């Protein structure tokens, strides 16, 4: 399995992480548990990381430098961003 190639849902979640800064951040992908599964897969690939903002708070996710680089430098990433600029919703 190619660990650096992301699926469409993974890439869209990575894009949302980058645009919104972190998760939870007011968006979910299908539902909360589905979002967590996708974000955990990004963590395993080194595209995102987890952190706890303060003791007693829920785990948060944010994009890593590797995730931001992948997001901007892949052919799929450039095509996805072009579709968004042209008015596509996903």
Cα(20)–Cα(43) distance, rounded to whole angstroms?
A: 17
Residue 90, in any domain of the structure: no
Would you write out the chain's pLDDT as a tens digit for each of its 90 residues? Answer: 345 678 888 988 998 898 888 888 777 888 989 999 999 999 999 999 999 988 988 899 999 999 988 887 766 666 766 776 777 655
Cα(82)–Cα(27) distance, rounded to whole angstroms?
A: 21
pTM of the predicted structure, to 2 decimals: 0.76
CATH code, domain with 68: 1.10.10.10
The answer to whether the Cα torsion of 23, 51, 58, 32 is positive or negative is positive
Count of domains observed in the chain = 1
Residue 2, in any domain of the structure: no
Residue 68, in any domain of the structure: yes
Partners of 61 in the β-ladder: 23, 50
């Amino acid at each position: 399995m190619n660990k650096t190639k992301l699926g469409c849902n993974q890439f869209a979640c990575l894009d949302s992480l980058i645009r919104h800064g972190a998760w939870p951040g007011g968006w979910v992908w299908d539902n909360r548990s589905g979002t967590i599964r996708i974000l955990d897969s990004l963590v395993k690939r080194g595209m995102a990381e987890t952190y706890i903002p303060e003791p007693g708070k829920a785990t948060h996710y944010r994009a890593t430098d590797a995730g931001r680089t992948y997001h901007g430098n892949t052919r799929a990433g450039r095509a996805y961003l072009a579709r968004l600029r042209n008015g596509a919703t996903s």
